A and B are shown apart, each in its own frame.
Chain A
């Protein structure tokens, strides 16, 4: 039997612009769960608290619930569904629908950030390759979304929406570096991005595309990329 834990027992170790951390912020907001937000300044190095809480990966986000750590953004989101069953759930109830939601959230996880990073890290052939891949990813997600309002379909705003929404402010940067328009390549995704951006939990968790673009500039400087 899971013991009763008060929601004020929640602490999130995070980094402001991290799309992975933002997934957790969105989930917490969807569930109206209060929490303490702790900013880890990753560009300055990692705190002892972070290193102790996530010894295997040493990464944010880390959710501390009654002091106990939960790591990996999608695992944290599922944890929140399961530890707080009286709050709106992000995963649907049906096992098959859950499997599909996990599959597509995992697809976003495997593909989007890595491919996007290669768009701004490289030039020439590797960048062209990254662009081709990003277009493929967007078109695949477009097909999956179809005419649904949210990826969650009948369930409404769900697990895959929360997984992918934090990447929407990164679209502008992908577009600039990759020289394409999401609205042309994947118009349904572009429309979804706009819809989802207006949702309260999302709007208050994300930063503007300009801020993301500036952050990429900072990263490039830090890594000595032209």
Chain B
């Protein structure tokens, strides 16, 4: 693969993590451009004028590929290496569905539950988050380490942020959502996911992530507020 690959990302992002894991699974040599989202570069704004956010994939001379799950599918199709999506059409549809569910429902509920002040509203969102995690957990195939089966697949990559970042968010917020007693299979999955050789290359040390993300707490609180206003 001679064409240059550049990934515009930022530190401690669940979305960027997906793109990075996908690229490293395919052993694609890449240049990581780290954005400061409070001061977005022209590079980012020109290549993602619609959403103005990360990740953004630049592959050779092609215009950008944006949106993390779209990037992961692109990487699966454009590069050789272990397959990310399963081969059976029904399994592929399932993986895509649960990745969407994760983004549209699961993360939203978790995010609001994390950053809303304690009270009835927060408790209701926390309940919803846990119910969603239960539904997600049920997608783990019996006796297998990963959503993808014996190896990491599309849904593992999509859910990856829960494995290494949710705990950090929980610590900053002082809120516990994912617990061994309630979701033992999901917790076990998280440990397996983080011990994967490729994933480890994409997960910086927890302490530096904690410090960086703790600085963004106010931003998180305001995005959570905006999400509840959306209803």
CB atoms of A103 and B90 under 8 A apart: no
Using A57-B101, A75-B97, A98-B77 as known contacts, say yes or no to A103 and B70 having CB atoms under 8 A apart: yes
Bound: A57/B105 CA distance, A = 9
Q: How near does chain A come to B18, taking the closest CB pair, in angstroms?
A: 14
A2 within 8 A of B: yes
A79 within 8 A of B: yes
Bound: A75/B88 CA distance, A = 14
Contact with A along B116-136 (1 / 0, CB 8 A): 000000000000000000010
Number of interface residues of A (CB under 8 A): 25
CB atoms of A82 and B92 under 8 A apart: yes
CB atoms of B90 and A79 under 8 A apart: yes
B137 within 8 A of A: no
Determine the chain A residues whose CB is within 8 A of the CB of B100 once the complex forms: 72, 75
Bound: A95/B73 CA distance, A = 9
CB atoms of B78 and A95 under 8 A apart: yes
Using A103-B65, A140-B50 as known contacts, say yes or no to A98 and B93 having CB atoms under 8 A apart: no
B11 within 8 A of A: no
CB atoms of B65 and A99 under 8 A apart: yes
CB atoms of A98 and B101 under 8 A apart: no
Using A57-B101, A99-B65 as known contacts, say yes or no to A2 and B88 having CB atoms under 8 A apart: yes
CB atoms of A56 and B90 under 8 A apart: no
Q: How large is the interface on B (under 10, 10 to 19, 20 to 34, 35 or more residues)?
A: 20 to 34
CB atoms of B88 and A70 under 8 A apart: no
B178 within 8 A of A: no
Bound: A126/B92 CA distance, A = 39
Using A96-B74, A99-B73 as known contacts, say yes or no to A72 and B97 having CB atoms under 8 A apart: yes
A68 within 8 A of B: yes
Bound: A99/B93 CA distance, A = 16
Q: Which residue of A lies closest to B99 (CB)?
A: A75
A18 within 8 A of B: no
Determine the chain B residues whose CB is within 8 A of the CB of A78 once the complex forms: 92-93, 96
Q: How near does chain B come to A129, taking the closest CB pair, in angstroms?
A: 13
Determine the chain B residues whose CB is within 8 A of the CB of A79 once the complex forms: 89-90, 92-93
Determine the chain B residues whose CB is within 8 A of the CB of A71 once the complex forms: 93, 97
Q: How near does chain B come to A92, taking the closest CB pair, in angstroms?
A: 11
Q: How near does chain A come to B132, taking the closest CB pair, in angstroms?
A: 8
B67 within 8 A of A: yes
Bound: A96/B62 CA distance, A = 8
CB atoms of A95 and B74 under 8 A apart: yes
Q: How near does chain B come to A32, taking the closest CB pair, in angstroms?
A: 18
Contact with B along A56-80 (1 / 0, CB 8 A): 1100000001001011100110110
Bound: A99/B78 CA distance, A = 10
A31 within 8 A of B: no
Q: How near does chain A come to B56, taking the closest CB pair, in angstroms?
A: 11
Q: Which of B59, B92, B105 is the most central at the interface, judged by chain A CB atoms within 10 Å of its CB?
A: B92
Could you tell me which B residues sit within 8 Å of A by CB distance?
Answer: 50, 59, 62, 65-67, 70-71, 73-74, 77-78, 88-90, 92-93, 96-97, 100-101, 105, 135
Some 13 contacts from A to B, beta carbons below 8 A apart, are A2-B88, A2-B90, A56-B135, A75-B93, A75-B96, A79-B90, A95-B78, A98-B77, A99-B65, A99-B73, A103-B70, A106-B67, A140-B50
For the complex of A and B, 9 pairs with smallest distance between CB atoms: A95-B77, A82-B89, A99-B74, A83-B89, A95-B78, A79-B93, A99-B65, A70-B93, A75-B96
